Amino acid sequence: MLTALAFLLGFFALLALALVRHPIFGLYAYLASFYIHPPSRWWAQNLPDLRWALLSAFVTLVALYVHRDKLNKAPPWFANAPAALLTLYCLWMWIQVFWAVDAQAHWNGTLQFSKYLVAFYLCYRLLDSPQRLRDFLLVHLAGCFYLGVQAFLSSNFTGGRLNGVGGPGIDDANTLGMFLATGVVAGAALALSQSGWRLWGTFAGLAFAMNGLVLTASRGAFLGLMAGGALVSMLHPKRLRWRFLVLAAIAALGFLSIVDDRFVQRMLSLVEVVERTEDIDMSAESRFEIKKAQMQMFLDYPFGTGHKGTAALSPLYMDRKWLAVTRRDGQISVGRSSHNTFLTTLAEQGFVGASLFIALVFWVAKTSWRIWRDRNRTNVLELPVITAGFAGGVWVVLVAGIGTDYLMAEVQFWMLAGLVVALRALAMQDSSRNAPETLAISRSSAGVATTGSMTERAAR
């Protein structure tokens, strides 16, 4: 009862602050509803049956209108490559409604993708200063800390792996592991750039987030973590090299202290040429079979099957031994879902969706290279590292998506929006080397930076 009351008071206090002080508090309420997710908690029976995320998003939009004259001006939210590509992808999904194989699943997926675009807009509009960007990563790490604590206390293990701790779209081992990996990468950026209580709080968040990731034993999440961590290690300014080496040594020792044999064996299976068990052989071969089926689906449906079309059509394209039997709401279904984000876009959104996805990956890669190239051009050390934290989070989702379908991973929308804003902030500092770190991100300042600014070109 006390837990429910605390959540209720905290949630509505944040919404009230959003209306009377600043809309950023509404975004924090939205994030709290995601991490805590009352429907997944035993104490939620004492709460009213509300759609917490929808309510917080609506109040935040109202607060944005109420405080529109107080907010820092910014270019239109769609005037950047990620927003344009995601919007086009969403519009294509709406067009696919007319021929989607699984009409209900596609309708639900289209609505979900549209909601994630709203989340992108909220992050883009409200993370309007370097401090807001930093605070967002702190809040994200705090949310992963909470999930890590839930993982530590959980008994929901299947085959030695933590099979989720609740949460919207993250209640399975692989997705939870990927989500926690984005928190670890954010924590790495914060550890490099912060001091005082923020640094000590970062250490606590990293410990529990990393432990939760290990408990999931997700190979895809581990690969994503390696990619995101490597990006942060490459994109930080050289003046932080010694601090990075010390923190990396501490992180390595901490990681070795929490890994177990189960985790080590699963990670080693990534590099083994000859798999040693029949279960691993079957798992690898089944993934190969679903990929072949998706390629054939694309040839048969070049404009895409629609959302979840892979699962709906898999019985027609695969041998029954590769299919999974699931029971939901008393009904039994047989099928196989996608295990690769790109192949999801190819099979389910056709050549249009696949082209948009490739363009997004190319933008992220090009942007990361430009950040690396000019990482030492600014006199301020914090913002380049924070930018690397957002870029690293995006790479976690992309790399982990090689083995799991993360098209609908909401965290990538947050990270992409933060990355766009961070790039614009770097463009400001690139144009005025002596500008204070607290300079607001405005349209006029961004316009000054157009000449010779690598980061603004990337953001566009």
**pLDDT tens string 148-206:** 999 999 988 888 899 999 999 999 999 999 999 999 999 999 999 999 999 999 999 99
* Burial class (CB within 10 angstroms; exposed 0-12, middle 13-18, buried 19+) of 149: middle
Q: What is the pLDDT of residue 70?
A: 82
What does the pLDDT look like over 389-421, one tens digit per residue? 999 999 999 999 999 999 999 999 999 999 999
Are the CB atoms for 308 and 348 separated by under 8 Å?
A: yes
Burial 35-48 (b: 16+ CB within 10 A, else e): bbbbeebeebeebe
Q: What is the pLDDT of residue 330?
A: 61
**Regions of the chain with pLDDT less than 70:** 270-284, 327-331, 378-379, 430-460
Closest CA to 353 of 341, 362, 365, 366: 341
- Show the tokens assigned to 147: 């999930």
Q: What is the pLDDT of residue 283?
A: 65
* Burial class (CB within 10 angstroms; exposed 0-12, middle 13-18, buried 19+) of 168: middle
Closest CA to 395 of 184, 149, 211: 184
Report the mean per-residue pLDDT for the chain: 88
Backbone angles phi, psi at 166, to 5 degrees: 90, 175
Q: What is the pLDDT of residue 289?
A: 87
Q: How far apart are CA 241 and CA 21, in angstroms?
A: 39
DSSP alpha helix (H) spans, 374-409: 382-400
Q: Kindly write down the DSSP assignment for every residue of 32-52, as one continuous string.
A: HHHHT-GGGSGGGGGS----H
> Is 0.85 surpassed by the pTM of this model?
yes
Q: What is the pLDDT of residue 284?
A: 66
